[in-house]
Amino acid sequence: MLVARVRDIYNTECIKKLNVQNALIDCIHRYGFREIQTPTFEFSDVFSSEKGTVAQTDMFRFFDREGNTLALRPDMTPPIARCVAKYFKEEELPIRLMYCGNTYRNNVSLQGKLKEVTQLGTELINDPSVEADAEMIAMTVDCLLTTGLKEFQVEIGNVEFFAGLIEEARLQEEETVKLRELIENKNLFGMEELLQEKKLEEPLKKLFYQLPELFGTIEKVKDIKNYVQNSRSIAALNRLEQLYELLKIYDFESYITFDLGMLSNYNYYTGIIFRAFTYKTGDAVATGGRYDSLIDQFGKDAPAIGVALILDQLLLALSRQNLLVNQESEDTLLVYQTKVQTIAIQLAKQFRKENMRVELYAEQKEYTLQDYIDYANRMGLGGILHLDNNKQVHLVRAKDGAIQKLGLLHTFYSILILNLKLRTVFSLPLK
């Protein structure tokens, strides 16, 4: 159900989401990251404009009884930066943290975006190196491959490239904000009008005009370096070249493209930024970048880089690309008649000891076996184990209604004892 751009997720869809989520967590664990949890709401100044996070109008804010202004977290990075400054203040070696939680944005309804989304991400603290940049992007590629995605691209930019051009052009803050907006909207006419007033040298002016189109392979990065005159932008391009060489070692270069005109709404980014895109979804399935100054605002001078996988967008892409596998359910519905209640409960206990998932129901006269089969299908269960008053046992596979008669209960119970590693009752082959 969709209400006010938030969603309920249940049954098989919820199972699929959790399966993808767990696969991503396993992948991230292999890179040495450890969990951290932060509160759903924080003091609103954690997300202040000085921190460079989302606009105040895009946050859900409220007051507590003491009159403090609180906000539902719109972004996971500032709370983690706060935690690092508080709990890891003296740590100088790399800190690897991962999280999974919901974020909240008061988006304009016409944008059609969800106001609550699940993010799963990582933050690598105390490592300013290009090697750290490469590992985070490589991990992003690895995670996306883990989900089953085959066709996607990670677009990489560097905010220092744009910052160098701004510095060279001597643009004021107000002019910079306007120019960023024009570039994001690909308003070339507006850009031309703004830059004409500054009377820039022709090579620099040409670079600004080309920004919305400066994307492609590493060759584009190498080529554009011939036209750049300021050291800050050149250093940014060199960093991208170094990054690419490292990603080649990971064998992930085929998933990489570069976008020198890439900008971000997060002003705390200070270097490499990146976004991952795939087919049949317009929004990024992963975003990330380097933020070497954010943690300092909370009291610890520490470089950092992070990535957030947008689980909702990722699931949408996987679904539209038919890559969400319908796994056979291992859940069993154990339906019993009155006279065999004790035995049914004992069987359920035995199953649960073997980590089987069992729903136990006393059979109701108003429901037929077919009613229970239909219920099992609606709930995404694998099958039914039916015990009648005559101690006869039947296995029913929910997906096709196939029934196997196993005979008297004592015979079947013997089978259970001999097959303690049996994952589910209904996984026995039906003849």
Pick the closest to residue 278 from 145, 124, 421 (CA basis).
145
Torsion of CA 263, 265, 268, 270, to 10 degrees: 0
Q: Which tokens go with 222?
A: 């190498």
What is the predicted pLDDT for the residue at 413? 59
Q: Does 2-320 carry CATH code 3.30.930.10?
A: yes
Pick the closest to residue 296 from 93, 85, 127, 88 (CA basis).
85
When the candidates are 3.30.1490.440, 3.40.50.800, 3.90.550.10, 3.40.50.2300, the CATH number that belongs to 333-427 is: 3.40.50.800
Distances in Å between the Cα of 152 and the Cα atoms of 292, 403, 428 are 28, 44, 39
Order of strands across the sheet that contains 69-72: 41-43, 69-72, 61-63
How many angstroms separate the CA atoms of 372 and 332, rounded? 11
What is the predicted pLDDT for the residue at 3? 46
For 414, other C-beta atoms within 10 Å of its C-beta total 10
How many angstroms separate the CA atoms of 265 and 49, rounded? 11
For 88, other C-beta atoms within 10 Å of its C-beta total 17
For 155, the 3-state DSSP assignment is strand
Residue intervals in the chain for CATH 3.40.50.800: 333-427
Q: Tens-of-pLDDT digits for all 431 residues of the chain?
A: 344 678 888 888 888 999 999 999 999 999 999 999 999 999 999 998 888 788 888 899 999 999 999 999 999 999 999 999 999 999 999 999 999 999 999 987 656 688 999 999 999 999 999 999 999 999 999 999 999 999 999 999 999 999 999 999 998 888 888 888 888 777 888 888 888 877 788 888 889 888 888 999 999 999 999 899 999 999 999 999 999 999 999 999 999 999 999 988 888 999 999 999 999 888 999 999 999 999 999 999 999 999 999 999 999 999 999 998 766 667 889 999 999 999 899 888 888 888 888 999 999 999 998 999 999 988 888 889 899 998 888 888 888 888 888 777 666 655 554 344 334 445 544 44
Pick the closest to residue 307 from 133, 62, 146 (CA basis).
133
Amino acid at 411: T
Residue intervals in the chain for CATH 3.30.930.10: 2-320
Length of the chain, in residues: 431
Pick the closest to residue 288 from 312, 264, 311 (CA basis).
264
Distances in Å between the Cα of 124 and the Cα atoms of 72, 215, 288, 367, 427 are 24, 27, 11, 56, 43
One DSSP character per residue, 29-90 reads HTTT-EE----SEEEGGGG-GGGT-S-GGGS-EEE-TT--EEEE-S-SHHHHHHHHHHHSTT
Q: Read off φ and ψ for residue 32, nearest 5 degrees.
A: 85, 15
For tokens 């995404």, name the residue.
380
